[in-house]
Structure 1
Amino acid sequence: MNFFPKIFRLQNPDIVISFPKSGRTWLRVMLDEIGTDLEYTHAGSGHRAGRLSSDLSTSIAPDYKRIVFLHRDPRDTAVSGYYHKQFRLDGYDGTISDFIRDPCFGIHKIMAFNKMWQDLSKLQPNMYFITYENLQENTAEELMGVLDFLKYRSDPDLVTQVVERNTFDNMRKREAAGDFAKSYGNALVPKDNTNENSFKVRRGKVAGYHEELTPHDIAWCQAEIDAFNSL
């Protein structure tokens, strides 16, 4: 779901696609501050809709000139999704262990969604595939790669400034202070300033699921990922 509906839609615009809670907000803020004009979507995978993986498709791809797809480890994505649904949306009637196994929100749906778009990216020259993990490790370099793909003339100094301004800690401080409210409305303000789990920018840690899931859940996730990748 876009933060802003476009009244006038460009023909074959460029777009960023990701499963919810894959780090898209961070990427979007940086791209917006650099001055790009892009659309953003979860391509039917949003938590409000609660669709099964069998309901998802890549049918929107022909509508766009260039597509950037953002991938994140499904374990981190699922954990972040649980807190988002529990504390920012309409709540979740179950535990985090239930959530990661839920066919409408959990690991299996995330893997299916990511794979269908990753497979398409191998066939489509107008697609650019990036990972949240690489973006965390080499933010400026990965961001420049996205801008080059989009044919956007970027000033390296500006990119460096934007990256430094939007470190995780700075993003959290800016969200808490209401800095994003004017541009993004309620989509980028905490539901409750006293509850860090209600922040849009919550943790953002790579492999943070190790601190959120039980050893049993971690082992289950790994087994499911291994089984999925062997298909």
Structure 2
Amino acid sequence: MLLKRFFRERVSFVSYPKSGRTWLRAMLGSYFSLKYEGDSAGTFPDVRELSDKNGLPKIKFTHDGASMQASLSYKDLRSGHRDYRKNKVVFVGRDVRDTLVSAYFQATKRVNVYEGSVSDFLRSDTYGADKILSFYQLWHSACNEPCAFLYTSYELMHEDARRELTRVLNFMGVEVDDDLVGKSVDACSFNNMKKMEKSGEGTSSAFRPADTKDEESYKARKGKVGTYTENLSEEDIDYISKRASAYGIDLYDPWNGQKSH
């Protein structure tokens, strides 16, 4: 049993901050709770703890050096990811513009690492457009280094969350129960996530609003696709578009158009 636990497969969930990974994490936790513990799917359980307890793949969640707290310039992001060669990697993406807006509110209202306007944020070497575009470019170059690689996105989960959760479970080698997939997706709807965050019931401290009266301080902030126009000027949007063109990256689907895996 000890050997089996030691040699478990390892699955790393990689994403740029504010790409929707928390939603996927919640759905996985709910599924594991229902399938292996027989518990309610609505309490945002610790997916890593459940995976360890039930002998499932060893799970790691990482921003791979791009976390806001690390405060690295885009020039300092690492190239090459050989340390993932024994890992399966699930890469979670999102529209670059929506990600940057969500990251701005995270930086200014939740983790308090930035003071300034959203326009300045976008142009920052530490938090802005070049940072996220470099992150995608570097990961695309290295996506063959893990032993297996799967891409999903916030937009794909919005399109069909059941399909994407099933894809991830199959990729992890976890038995899929369609009924429990549906229950997990329903339990982790945006409205339910927002309620859980506001109440704090069954959630970690990382999944609580900084200010319950400030909608922009919630982890589950909008739950929509394409809302960047509410916060960015035409000049800001044009700047991001020009930087994306320089990197050859599609803004809506930053994995699309890249050399396929």
> Could you state the TM-score of these two structures normalised by the residue count of structure 2?
0.78
Could you list the per-position Cα deviations for residues 57-104 of structure 1 after superposition, in whole angstroms to 9, with x for gaps in the alignment? 243643642110111111111110100010111242210001111111
State the Cα distance separating 1:115 from its structure 2 match: 2.1
Q: Which residue number corresponds to residue 126 of structure 2?
A: 104
1:174 maps onto 2:196 in alignment: yes
The structure 1 residue matched to 2:234, chosen from 212, 215, 218, is 215
Letter in 2 for 1:47: M
Q: Which residue number corresponds to residue 67 of structure 2?
A: 46
Alignment of 1:1-231 (within 5 A): 13-35=10-32, 37=51, 38-57=59-78, 58-59=80-81, 61-62=83-84, 64-122=86-144, 124=146, 126-181=148-203, 184=204, 186-229=205-248
State the Cα distance separating 1:196 from its structure 2 match: 0.8
Letter in 1 for 2:193: M
State the Cα distance separating 1:144 from its structure 2 match: 0.6
Letter in 2 for 1:31: L
Partner secondary structure for residue 87 of structure 2: coil
Letter in 2 for 1:39: K
Number of aligned residue pairs: give it: 221
Q: Give me the whole-angstrom Cα distance separating, in 1, the residues matched to 2:195 and 2:10.
A: 32
Superposed CA RMSD in Å reads 2.1
Q: Which residue number corresponds to residue 55 of structure 2?
A: none
Residues 50 and 133 of structure 1: CA distance in aligned 2, closer, same or farther (over 3 Å): same
Q: Give me the whole-angstrom Cα distance separating, in 1, the residues matched to 2:155 and 2:225.
A: 6
- Share of identical aligned residues, percent? 34
Structure with greater contact order relative to length (CA < 8 Å, sep ≥ 6): 2
Can you give the 5+ residue segments of structure 2 that lack an aligned partner in the other structure?
A: 33-46, 52-58, 250-257
State the Cα distance separating 1:123 from its structure 2 match: 6.0
Letter in 2 for 1:88: R
Q: Give me the whole-angstrom Cα distance separating, in 2, the residues matched to 1:20 and 1:9.
A: 30
